[in-house]
Amino acid sequence: MAAMNNDERSVLAVGGFGLGVVALAFAGFAISRSGDSGSNGGVTAAVTTTAVDVNLTEFAMTPNMLDVPPGDVTIRVTNSGNVAHNFSIPERNLTTRDLQPGEAQTITLKNATTGELPFLCTIPGHSASGMTGMAHVSADNSATTTPAPPTTMSYQEMDKAMTERAMRFVNEPKSTFGGSALEPKILADGTKEFELTTSIIDWEVEPGKIVKAWTYNGMVPGPSIRVEVGDKVRIVLKNELPESTDIHWHGVRVPNAMDGVDPYTQDPVEPGKSFIYEFTALEPAVGMYHSHHNAQTQIPNGLAGAFIIGDMPLPASLADKGITKIDKTVNMMLNDAGTIGLTLNGKSFPATEAYSANVGETMLVNYFNEGLTAHPMHMHQPVGWIIAKDGVPLKDPVAQDTILVAPGERYTVVYHFVDPGVWAWHCHILTHAEGPQGMFGMVTAVIVK
């Protein structure tokens, strides 16, 4: 189809909804090989090979200090995080490939000699966020070891844990959700004025888990902003963070001076200061607004929201599928890092919002990915019809039940409900949705009556 290239239509289809997490083993060990006897009956010096494990997560390398003896060092690297990481010893030009979540690779440091060898993740921004360490090579050292986690849970215990967690989604009261509509103040000339204040607050990601979230107007995601084509828009940013910030209007056509990328288009908005963005909404958009200052920290920690201009047209060709009008609209913000972590609209299962619909109704969903990795979003039962990519309507809708949303992308999808029931809705990367303790992270449900 001309409106989408192959990458845009790519799908990560993996497994069913019954997902699993494999326990990771971190135990290190040392192996000594006695030398071969020489022709004179002597014995050569012992050659020592050491094996250690390094675990990668957001944003740490564990252990970050390796104490090893001289000789060959086998390093088994496992990515237990939610985004791609690697392990590199620059002084030896030794590195793994970029490991995807759940992947592992073994590399060997040949003939390590006494001294120190720094290591790090070379993916931009990751070392600055804490993914660094040091290998101390000394004859006094033995291999660093980390005990393997116990894996003694019986299937009965696992079933019980999964059921209890699933019922929490049904029975427990939900805390405050983010992304609520922000109503404008209408100025004398008709300009729509919105106020956005950044601050750090305590935010409940899941029941009992409180994190320090970086927020617009005290919520994650930030409030949804909606205007019409032709509206004059004025947004007052007030910064109550401990560091500077700005706002970029992602996927929204604005003058360069309003693009929100300091120091090119404006000065940083320092703590305690304000900045006013003014522009006219020139064309329809399914956009996002987010920080463009220390973005690797500020956005994953919560500084992002939806920015919508106008209405998305519903393709007439869907009428024969029973899709003739939109009954409700959902903005779905995806995240996977920072203090917020694996979340849908700032919440992890079982704290995620449950959605409802009636048989025969149609839901329009705008997916926004503000995370660091792609997420294949899958709703059980109804096929999704992609009607727009990055806010641009497609000439022909595309039927797809799993929609791969890359960082920065937006997909507009309509779901038409034909069967009653509780239908799971989740990211289809296995480690983002369910483990031996039950569902977690990027999972919610639609209740169809």
Q: What pLDDT does residue 141 have?
A: 52
Please tell me whether residue 153 adopts helix, strand or coil conformation. coil
Please tell me whether residue 355 adopts helix, strand or coil conformation. strand
Nearest one of 437, 429, 320, 412 to 84, comparing CA atoms: 429
Q: What pLDDT does residue 144 have?
A: 43
Q: Which residues contact 129 (CB under 8 A, 6 or more apart)?
A: 58, 59, 296, 297
With tokens 């009261």, the residue in question is 173
With tokens 């564990």, the residue in question is 62
Which amino acid is located at 123 in the chain? I
Q: Say how far apart CA 261 and CA 247 lie, in whole Å.
A: 7
Strands 328-337 and 285-290 come out as: unpaired
Q: Say how far apart CA 332 and CA 177 lie, in whole Å.
A: 12
Domain residues for 449? 1-23+156-173+312-449
Residue 150 in any domain: the answer is no
Q: What pLDDT does residue 152 have?
A: 60
Same domain, 284 and 402: no
Q: Say how far apart CA 76 and CA 55 lie, in whole Å.
A: 8
Residue 245 in any domain: the answer is yes
Same domain, 132 and 86: yes
Q: What pLDDT does residue 9 have?
A: 38
Please tell me whether residue 286 adopts helix, strand or coil conformation. strand
Residue 240 in any domain: the answer is yes
Same domain, 234 and 335: no
Query: Is the Cβ–Cβ distance between 344 and 434 less than 8 Å?
Result: no
Domain count, the chain: 3
Q: At 65, give phi and psi (nearest 5°).
A: -130, 115
Which amino acid is located at 395 in the chain? K
Intervals of the chain under pLDDT 70: 1-49, 140-152
Same domain, 189 and 304: yes
Of 310, 342, 370, the residue that ends a domain is: 310
pLDDT tens digit string along 88-99?
A: 999 999 999 999
Q: What pLDDT does residue 10 have?
A: 39
Q: Which two tokens stand for residue 446?
A: 């639609």
pLDDT tens digit string along 338-392?
A: 999 999 999 999 999 999 999 999 999 999 999 988 999 999 988 999 999 999 9
Q: What pLDDT does residue 58 have?
A: 84
Q: Say how far apart CA 263 and CA 260 lie, in whole Å.
A: 9
**CB-count exposure of residue 241 (10 Å: 0-12, 13-18, 19+):** buried
Nearest one of 321, 390, 332, 382 to 357, comparing CA atoms: 382
Residue 165 in any domain: the answer is yes
- pTM exceeds 0.75, yes or no: no
Q: What pLDDT does residue 49 have?
A: 65
Same domain, 160 and 205: no
Strands 104-112 and 71-79 come out as: antiparallel
Same domain, 192 and 245: yes
For residue 80, give the CATH number of its domain: 2.60.40.420
